[in-house]
Structure 1
Amino acid sequence: MDRTSTYFQNQWNAELYDSKHSFVSELAADLVEILSPKPGECILDLGCGTGHLTHKIASKGAEVIGIDSAPTMVEQALHNYPQIDFSVVDARNLPFTEKFDAVFSNAVLHWIKEAEEVVIGINKALKPGGRFVAEFGGKGNVKAIVTAIYNALQKAGYPADSGLNPWHFPSIGEYGSLLEKHGLQLTFATLFERPTPLDDGEQGMQNWLKMFANSFFNGLSLDAQMSILTDIENQLRPTLYKNGTWFADYKRIRVIAIK
Structure 2
Amino acid sequence: MAPALSGTGTPQAWDAKAYGTIASFVPALGQAVLDLLGPKEGERILDLGCGDGVLTARIAESGAEVLGYDADSGLLDGARARGLSVRQGDGQALDYDGEFDAVFSNAALHWMPDHPAVYAGVHRALKPGGRFACECGGFGNIAAIRTAIRAVAETRGQDPVDRQNYPSVTRATRELEAAGFRVDAIALVPRPTPLADGMASWLNTFRHGFFDRQDGEAMIAETVRLLAPQLQDPDGNWTADYVRLRFLAFKD
Shorter-chain TM-score bucket reads over 0.9
Shift of residue 159 of structure 1?
A: 2.5
Tell me the residue number matched to 1:182.
179
Amino acid at match of 1:76: G
Query: What's the counterpart of residue 6 of structure 1?
Result: none
Picking from 55, 67, 76, the partner of 2:69 is 67
Q: Deviations over 1:110-129 (max 9, x none)?
A: 00111111111000000000
Aligned to 2:232: 241
How far apart, CA to CA, are the structure 2 residues paired with 1:70 and 1:215? 14
Q: Which one is further off, 69-78 or 225-234?
A: 225-234
Deviation at 1:151, TM superposition (A): 1.0
TM-score by length of 1: 0.90
Task: Give 3-state SS (helix, strand or coil) of 1:64's partner.
Answer: strand
Q: 2:129–2:250: 8 Å Cα contact kept in structure 1?
A: yes
Comparing 207-216 and 51-60, the one that deviates more: 207-216
Deviation track 1:69-121 (CA, whole Å, cap 9, x = no partner) reads 11111011111x12x21121211111211111100000000001111111110
Q: Which residue pairs with 1:88 in the alignment?
A: 88
Which string of whole-angstrom CA distances, capped at 9 and with x for unpartnered residues, describes residues 113-154 of structure 1? 111111110000000000000000011101000111111112
Tell me how far 1:166 sits from its aligned partner.
3.3
1:42 to 36, 41, 44: 44
Deviation for aligned residue 1:182? 0.9
Matched residue, 1:3: none
In structure 2, the gaps of 5 or more residues are 1-10
How far off its partner does 1:228 sit? 1.5
Aligned residues: 241
**Structure 2: how far apart are the matches of 1:75 and 1:34?**
27
Distance 1:247 1:147 in 2: 16
CA distance in 2, matches of 1:33, 1:17: 24
**Structure 1: how far apart are the matches of 2:69 and 2:116?**
18
Q: Name 1:226's counterpart in structure 2.
A: 217
The residue aligned with 2:163 is 166
Structure 1 regions of 5+ residues with no counterpart?
Answer: 1-8
Residue in 2 that maps onto 1:54: 56
C-alpha displacement of 1:168: 0.7
* 2:200 pairs with 1:206: yes
Number of the residue aligned with 1:215: 209
Q: Secondary structure at the match of 1:134?
A: strand
Which position in structure 2 is the counterpart of 1:16? Answer: 18
In the alignment, the residues of structure 2 paired with residue 24 and residue 127 of structure 1 have an alpha-carbon distance, to the nearest angstrom, of 28
**How far is 1:249 from its partner?**
0.5
RMSD after superposition: 1.4
C-alpha deviations, 1:143-198, integer Å up to 9, x for none? 0001111111122x22323x2x2311111111110010011111100002101011
- 1:257 matches 2:249: yes
Query: Contact 1:45/1:103 (CA < 8 Å) preserved in 2?
Result: yes
In structure 1, the partner of 2:114 is 114
C-alpha distance in structure 2 between counterparts of 1:51 and 1:39, whole Å:
19
Q: Which position in structure 1 is the counterpart of 2:151?
A: 151
Percent of counterpart pairs with the same letter? 40
Q: 1:89 & 1:13 partners in 2: Cα distance?
A: 18
* Shift of residue 215, structure 1, vs aligned partner: 2.2
1:24-73 C-alpha deviation (Å, 9 max, x unpaired): 00001232122111101111100000001000000011110011011111
1:248 shift after superposition: 1.0
The answer to whether the 8 Å contact 2:22/2:205 transfers is: no
Taking the aligned partners of 1:188 and 1:35, their CA distance within structure 2 comes to 12
